[in-house]
Amino acid sequence: MKKKMVSLFVALIMIVTNTSMAYALSPVAEVYYSFGTSKYDSSQYESALNDAIKAKLVAAGVNPKYFSIMDANANPASVTDVTYVHSGYDSWYNGSIPEVETADYNHVQIGNNGKSVTFYGYTAPAYKDFMLTDANPTGKKIITFDMDESKVNYHSMEGGGFLFNSKISSEGKLSGYVILYVEGSIKIYKLDGLDATKFHNESGNPLSSMSGPGVTLIGTYAKGASTQHSIKINATDTKLNMWDNGVQIIKDLALTTVYGDEFGPFVSYKSHGCGIISIFAFDNMKLFTTSDKKLDTAVEEIYWEPNSPVRYVINVNDDNDEYWTDDTKKTSLTDTLNNNGTQYIGVTSVTGATYEKEKEFVDNLLKGGLILDKDKQGADIIDAIASRIADQIINGYKDAILAIETAESKTDIQFDSGDTKTSVKKDITLQQDDKVTTVWSSDQPSIIAADGTVTRPVTTQKGIYVNLKATITEGELTSEKIFTVFVAAADPAPLTTLSAVEGDKQITLNFPALGQTSSIIVEQSTDGTTFTPATTAETLDKDSTSATVTGLTNGTTYYFRIFVGSGFYAGLSNVVTVKPIATVIPVTPSDEQPTMNTKVTVSDPSNGGKVVQDKITKIIGEDLKVSGKIKSANGQELNVPAIVMNADGSFTLPKVAPGEYKLSLNVTAPNGEKLAGPVGKLIVDSQGNATLSVDLIDPYGTIVDTITKQPIAGVNMQLYWADTELNRSKGRTPGTLVNLPELPNFAPNKNHNPQISSASGEYGWMVYADGDYYFLGEKAGYIVFDSRNDKRNEKFGDDSYIKDGIIHVGESIVQFSFSHQPKVKAIGDHSPYMVGLPNGAFQPERGITRAEVAAILSRLYTPVKKAKNVSYVDVKASNWAYGAIASATQSQWMIGNGKDMFQPNKQVTRAEFAQTLLNVYKWNVVHESTFTDVQKHWANDAIATVEKQGVLFDFTETAFNPNQAITRLEVVRIFNKLLERQPWHVSIKPKWSDVGEDHKYYTDIMEASIQHPFENFETGIENWK
């Protein structure tokens, strides 16, 4: 059977539905699992984990629809076959006159790269329309889609859903299962041996009335309470599971017969007799099958949602030793996870030979992870995973989720008096919540601009449908709300958009197609008053959009207008003024273009413009082809052949007249795509000697911390297509990740997108020429950097620039360095917890006494009990530290020596200080230390425990010397670390006579001993205000 195919990428939806699109807040957390040879049943495991996360989110007041769980073995599938979807004029006009119709008369419209599928019904018959996958995929079937039920008109629509586990035999018999969303419930049908064509053309009965041979109802389920559904369907050969907004509606429904592997969207209609057309829309639809994959392959092929900030891979496979023993595989897996900002959870044997290596792998991930003992109870493992994921959503994103939900309810469009969504003639008012960031855009900005300004289209149809999108952002979360409106066609009026471009002794007029008219006459004048008909180089008709008038005099001012005899633009157009001018380009006239050898000087702008003896491709590798065009000094392209770089880095250029020129270079990627390059300066002297000066191709930007000014490693950089007319005209989808070609020699990330900034804070992309871009920079502890909010105005070469938040790349590369603002964690005042000595010195290298430590503790920590009098024979009530010693004793932070003595003036040893910290913080005790001299010491456990907390960073020797007195400086450094009091810089004059600004630890000592207001950032850095 010959199949009819419809493009997934170019389709027009010409119908206005009842309400705006469903809100599309991406999942906050995406969870992918890999099972391999695990003992667990993946479906049961997924259900259990889903329920556990859902319960925790609901308990915290968070909608469970904001996380998703998916099999990492999933492979995207697609549907394009419309053999069983009706189309054509007669399918609409087979009874009553339809109130609406699609532009191409197809009853299915596909958009958004195949993710949006909308079915349109009929005026009379009860047809069954469906689409099936292109191939015959095997494995588990996974279907996800959003559906706004308020958009569904059930008038003649029985329901919409999916065929799955289906096939059409060579005899044309359809068998399989149908899951159908109907008004009020969800129904599951089994189809067995139906004539596919007759079933498709059924004109009288809905599916529910076809029970009998071939159609069996096997289940009915209640729908979720919301009218907006985020649905997920998992179907194996034997079981069906389904979730709606995170709630499991169908669990392990038995599928008794194995028919086939094809699946796809399905709609069923009821017979009726009027012009109402029912509509069923699948939004954000994604289809997957599964196949067995190795862990690294599965992780590499995951299709992450671009706006999901929390990403997990759960590995429950029993056989993964190769990834922990093979450094190449481990490094590759690390890079993949880091480049996608992914956390790793491993369920493994904690007694296995590779446990430590897997743990080390997790410790080296930028986002971290978790290792769980596979021998624990399954319920405990599920709970541990669910707790980590749910806690991250609740603690990190709950406020943002609630803010976006509130904003979604306030985001709307308001029509002027007399206008409706089906007839817009005047400007639209955009309503939004100013507590979040909302950016409006339009898929046809020439008709509705991003500020709601309406320009009615000139068209022979009644009007044009436009989608207005509100992109709502709060923190790292992004939601989209789309409104579809019909803008009425402009009323007939004379042309007002005539424009002109000057040429050499000629001009070219530009205008829209004028449509059916009795005549089109171009008129010209030299005084703007008296016009006469002009002769055009072309014969003008209804489809013409330009006209060229020749034989003019350069330097003379002309006036032009167009007279349209009849039709929409009947009358005289606006008048345009234009002055022809000669174009002079220095070119050596010759049929065979002479060439000249060119001396190439390469400079390095990052090194003060120093001349270097390198090829211009040093940064991105020598295997890439570099070509370019010669332009005049004012940017006009010369009519000479393109130039190509030779293998030795030199250029052979076509011979041109003496003068100064620009050389616009481009890099050709391995896949043949043209990427933007640098601009060179070419100087040709009177003797024909040429010198080319070019900067190294260096497309890097550097990211620094706003507070510390230091480079930031580990920033997840994501490059997107900007929402501009240029990108839309080239078929690029605004807001989607740019798919860049890999450049194998382009360190450190091979031109990957997304990518992670290097240790020196660098990132870099070689991007496509003639494109508009923006990027996001994300790292834990920092506010998301959105280049659209950066209002710098910079130009690069002749045609590349950064302006109004748009990065436009013409043919020249653009560099974009930026400062990343850390998130504020706390603001307040810090009181000193250490003081100097009466003589004005601090004595950082002096030992610290027990009384001084007790005083520090009393200043920093709240006593466990109210301090009572103490009876140490060596601590009198008049002792300066009496109250502090009493608090430390009552709280059991410090104790005496067992002989009723506290020894307040005795210096504290390193071992005693470790024990004091353990008494205060009550950490879980660790028994093994890396220090070589503490194993048999009475404080071994305390030292090992404090070492585990990472605060003994100054003790770098192999021996700890536990009985050595700890110094005042060492105590300061430890407490500052524990208290997160780590200022980057202190702008204050020295207070202590022996601690000058040049002291290595000046900031630490001043932090501990000076009262000051502060800001603490989530990066662990403090800033003095």
User: What residue has token string 């649905």?
Assistant: 231
pLDDT value, residue 999: 93
Report the mean per-residue pLDDT for the chain.
84
- Report which of 920, 934, 937, 924 is spatially closest to residue 971, judged by C-alpha positions: 920
Maximum pairwise Cα distance, the chain:
120
CA atoms 949, 954, 956, 957: torsion sign = negative
pLDDT value, residue 417: 93
pLDDT value, residue 233: 92
pLDDT of 36 > 70? The answer is no
pLDDT of 747 > 80? The answer is no
User: Average of pLDDT values for 520-530?
Assistant: 95
116 part of a folded domain: yes
pLDDT band for position 913 (cuts 50, 70, 90): very high
* pTM for this model (two decimals): 0.52
End position of a domain, from candidates 695, 728, 753: 695
Distance in angstroms (rounded) separating the CA atoms of residues 681 and 518:
54
C-beta of residue 805 within 8 angstroms of C-beta of residue 788: yes
Residues of the chain with pLDDT > 70, as a percent, come to 89
In a shared domain, residues 981 and 899: yes
In a shared domain, residues 1015 and 907: yes
Please report, for the domain that includes residue 547, its CATH number.
2.60.40.10
In a shared domain, residues 923 and 942: yes
Please report, for the domain that includes residue 746, its CATH number.
2.60.40.1120
590 part of a folded domain: no
User: Average of pLDDT values for 130-155?
Assistant: 80
Which of 324-328, 430-434, 865-869 has the largest mean confidence?
430-434
The 10 Å Cβ neighbour count of residue 826 is 11
pLDDT value, residue 13: 28
Structure tokens given for 943 = 């030292």
pLDDT of 39 > 60? The answer is no
In a shared domain, residues 852 and 706: no
In a shared domain, residues 568 and 626: no
User: How does pLDDT run across 484-512, given as a tens digit for each residue?
Assistant: 788 888 889 999 889 988 888 899 999 88
User: How does pLDDT run across 15-25, given as a tens digit for each residue?
Assistant: 333 333 434 56
Range of the domain at 561: 499-578
User: What residue has token string 């050969």?
Assistant: 237
13 part of a folded domain: no
Residues of the chain with pLDDT > 90, as a percent, come to 38
User: How does pLDDT run across 717-735, given as a tens digit for each residue?
Assistant: 999 999 998 988 887 888 8
Distance in angstroms (rounded) separating the CA atoms of residues 332 and 294:
13
Dihedral over alpha carbons 851, 857, 860, 866 (to 10 degrees): -110
In a shared domain, residues 838 and 953: yes
C-beta of residue 181 within 8 angstroms of C-beta of residue 159: yes
In a shared domain, residues 363 and 255: no
In a shared domain, residues 346 and 324: yes
How many residues in the chain? 1025
In a shared domain, residues 61 and 82: no
Q: Which of 124-128, 207-211, 319-323, 865-869 has the lowest mean pLDDT?
A: 865-869
End position of a domain, from candidates 666, 695, 724: 695
Instruction: Give how many domains the chain has, as a whole number.
Output: 7
Distance in angstroms (rounded) separating the CA atoms of residues 895 and 905:
14
End position of a domain, from candidates 458, 487, 516: 487
In a shared domain, residues 330 and 376: yes
User: How does pLDDT run across 780-790, given as a tens digit for each residue?
Assistant: 889 999 999 99
**Integer CA distances (angstroms), 627 to 591, 679, 700, 840, 926, in order:** 22, 11, 21, 70, 63
In a shared domain, residues 274 and 183: yes
4 part of a folded domain: no
In a shared domain, residues 613 and 653: yes
